[in-house]
Amino acid sequence: MDLSPNLLMLVVAVSFGSAIIGGMGGFGTGIILTATLTPILGIKAVVPLLALAGIIINMGRFWFYRRDVDARAVKRVLPSALVCLLGGTLVYRHLDAAPLAIVIGLVVLAALPARRWLHAHNLHLGARGLTLGGGVFGFLNGIASGMGVVLISLLLGAGLSGTAVLATDALITIAVDITRSLIFGKLDLLDSSGVVLGGVIGLASLPGSWIASRLVQRLGHKMHIAIIEILIAIGGLSILYHGIRAI
C-alpha cells in the first residue's frame, strides 16, 4: 500500500468529516470511509484497516457519552456478536474482492429499509432479540465496515434513545473492532501500512467526534436521520458500483 502525501491528506479530511456525521448518529463513519477508500485501495485492504481505525474512533465517541452507557444491552449483544464475528471474518477471507464489494453494497443499502421498518412498527426487542441481533451484527462486521447502522437499529428497537444509544453502540463496537483487528492480523489481512493508515484515520477522527458531541443536541432528529440515510445510500451505491465494475 503506497502511503502517498495526497492519500494521507484525503484520508485525514474524510476521516474528520465522517467522524462528525457518525458521531451525531452513531453510524455513517465507516460507510463514508469505505465508499471513499474502496476505489483507491480495494475492498480487501479497506475492511481490515477500518477495523483498527474503528477502535480509536469509537473510544473517542464513547468518552464523550460514557455516562449514559446501558450495561444490560452490552451484556446481551456483545457475546453473540463476538462469536459470530469469527464466522463472518472467515467468509470475508475467502471471498474475492468483486463479490465482496457487491455483498457489502447490498447489505449497506438493505439497512435503510430495515431501520425504517423497525421504526414504523415501533418494535421493542427483548433479551432474546438483542442476543440474536448481536449475532447478525457480529457476522456482518466480519465481512464489512460501516455496519453501525445495524447496531443502532438494534438498540433503538430495544427501547434505548438519545446518548444512551451512542454510548452503548460505541462500547460494543470497541470490543468488536479490537477482536476484528486481532483476527485480521492473525490471518495476515492487516499489514504494517494498513496499521499506519488505520491509526491516521482514527486520530484524525477524534476532533470530529468532539465537534459531533457538541452538535448532537442542536440538530433536529428528523433532519439528521435524513442526511445520514442519503449518505448511506450514496455510499452503498458507490461500493456496489465498483464491485460490479470489477467483475
Q: Could you give the count of Cα atoms lying within 13 Å of 167 in the half-sphere of its Cβ? A: 16
Q: Which amino acid is at 92?
A: Y
Q: What is the pLDDT of residues 48-75, one digit of tens each?
A: 888 888 898 889 888 888 888 999 999 9
Query: φ, ψ for residue 5 (rounded to 5)?
Result: -55, -40
What confidence score (pLDDT) does residue 76 get?
94
pLDDT band, very low/low/confident/very high, at 131 (cuts 50, 70, 90): very high
Cell 464491485 locates to 243
CA 82 to chain centre: 15
- Across the range 81-100, mean pLDDT stands at 84
Predicted confidence (pLDDT) per residue in 91-123, tens digit: 888 777 677 778 777 877 877 787 677 677 766
Query: Quick one: residue 66, left, alpha or beta (phi over 0 = left, psi -120 to 50 = alpha)?
Result: alpha
Helical segments of the chain, H only? 5-25, 29-41, 43-65, 71-94, 97-120, 127-143, 148-157, 162-186, 192-215, 221-246
CA angle 169, 172, 175 (to 5 degrees): 145
**For cell 468488536, what's the residue?**
176
Residue written as grid cell 451512542:
166
pLDDT exceeds 90 at position 135: yes
In the chain, the percentage of residues whose pLDDT exceeds 70 is 89
Quick check: 83 pLDDT over 90?
A: yes
pLDDT band (50, 70, 90) for residue 27: low
pLDDT tops 80 at residue 190: no
Q: Report yes or no: 140 and 147 within 8 Å, Cβ to Cβ.
A: yes
Q: 170 in helix, strand or coil?
A: helix
CA–CA dist 159, 78 (Å, integer): 17
Mean pLDDT over 213-218 rounds to: 73
pLDDT in the model for residue 71: 93
Query: Is residue 234's pLDDT more than 70?
Result: yes
Q: Mean pLDDT over residues 215-244, rounded?
A: 72
Using a pLDDT cut of 90, give the percent of the chain over it. Answer: 13
Q: Could you give the CA distance from residue 21 to residue 116 in angstroms, rounded to a whole number?
A: 19
pLDDT value for 224: 62
Gap between the Cα atoms of 242 and 34, Å rounded = 11
- Segment 8-26 shows an average pLDDT of 82
